[in-house]
């Protein structure tokens, strides 16, 4: 996890070049909010997570498979799976297969958090679900001075409407690959689409600045440096990912992604 900062990154007036032009107060631990990044594949979502992780307002967290995968917490909240099935999957599959989550929440703490969730769970009360996510992310994150924790998983697109019900103040960033560039993309409150080809284009600043504005964070020199020196060169050197056939929501219409059946 990143070293603690002493200024509120939301009010950071650092210039794009990195020169400080002002100061602000600290951020309370309980104010840290989630940014969920969804997309067509892990490569697409990881680009946006890496970019945001370079900003001092943001701290990356491991992929939370227990939250967005089929049969996960979002499905439980939506009534699409049963409590016993969810508890079995998180104990026997998702937690054992996530070294990152184990690093944040050791086994003894994990059992304590999950047991409490099993006792308190109710479809009419989202607090136990919220408490489960916070508990598994560890006490250190709850005391973090960052503004956002950032998680990336392609499956976040599937459960996008459920995530704010679980985590209040959650924001969803959907990374749209090059093949969708010509499509009109509707933006909604709490949800933002990033066109990856425009983000990686050194001659295009609009996509980057729109993401900064959506998250209400400063246009920070560290993030610009990461985009210019690391993310854009890596993106230019890689081939566009092959897309599987699936549905992606654009406003009120659903469009089918390219690719074979």
pLDDT at site 124:
87
| Rounded distance between C-alpha atoms, residue 87 and residue 78, angstroms | 16
Separation of CA 56 from chain center: 16
Distances (CA, A) of 61 to 51, 116, 202, 249, 254: 14, 23, 28, 26, 30
pLDDT at 244: 33
**Beta bridge partners of residue 195, listed in sequence order:** 176
In the chain, where the domains are located: 28-247
Please report the pLDDT score of residue 140 as a whole number: 78
- Report the pLDDT value the prediction gives residue 159, as an integer from 0 to 100: 96
Other Cβ atoms closer than 10 A to 237? 7
Query: Of all helices (H) and strands (E), which one includes residue 165?
Result: helix 163-166
Mean pLDDT for back-to-back runs of 10 residues, the chain (261 residues): 40 38 32 92 93 95 96 97 98 97 95 97 92 91 85 96 94 82 58 92 93 95 94 63 34 34 33
Query: With a threshold of 0.75, does the pTM exceed it?
Result: yes
Report the alpha-carbon distance of residue 22 to residue 10 in Å, rounded: 12
Instruction: Supply the pLDDT for residue 241.
Output: 41
Please state which of the four CATH numbers 1.20.58, 1.10.287, 3.40.50, 3.30.70 is assigned to the domain occupying 28-247.
Answer: 3.40.50
DSSP 8-state class, residue 80:
S
Query: Using CA atoms, how far apart are residues 178 and 47, in angstroms rounded to an integer?
Result: 13
Task: Report residue 193 CA to chain centroid gap.
Answer: 13
């Amino acid at each position: 996890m990143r070293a603690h900062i002493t200024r509120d990154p939301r009010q950071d007036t650092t210039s794009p070049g990195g020169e400080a032009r002002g100061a602000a107060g600290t951020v309370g631990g309980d104010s840290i909010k989630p940014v969920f990044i969804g997309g067509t594949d892990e490569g697409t979502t990881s680009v946006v997570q890496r970019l945001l992780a370079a900003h001092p307002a943001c701290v990356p967290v491991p992929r939370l498979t227990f939250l967005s995968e089929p049969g996960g917490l979002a499905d439980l909240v939506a009534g699409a799976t049963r409590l016993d099935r969810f508890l079995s999957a998180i104990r026997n599959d998702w937690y054992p297969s996530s070294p990152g989550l184990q690093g944040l929440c050791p086994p003894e703490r994990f059992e304590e958090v999950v047991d409490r969730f099993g006792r308190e769970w109710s479809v009419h009360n989202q607090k136990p679900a919220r408490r489960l996510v916070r508990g598994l992310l560890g006490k250190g994150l709850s005391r973090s001075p960052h503004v956002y924790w950032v998680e990336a998983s392609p499956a976040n697109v599937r459960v996008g409407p459920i995530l704010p019900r679980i985590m209040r103040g959650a924001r969803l960033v959907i990374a749209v690959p090059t093949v969708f560039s010509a499509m009109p993309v509707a933006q909604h409150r709490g949800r933002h689409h990033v066109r990856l080809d425009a983000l990686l284009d050194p001659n295009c600043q609009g996509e980057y600045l729109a993401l900064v504005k959506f998250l209400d964070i400063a246009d920070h020199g560290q993030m610009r440096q990461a985009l210019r020196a690391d993310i854009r060169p890596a993106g230019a050197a890689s081939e566009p990912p092959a897309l599987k056939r699936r549905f992606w929501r654009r406003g009120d219409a659903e469009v089918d992604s390219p690719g074979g059946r």
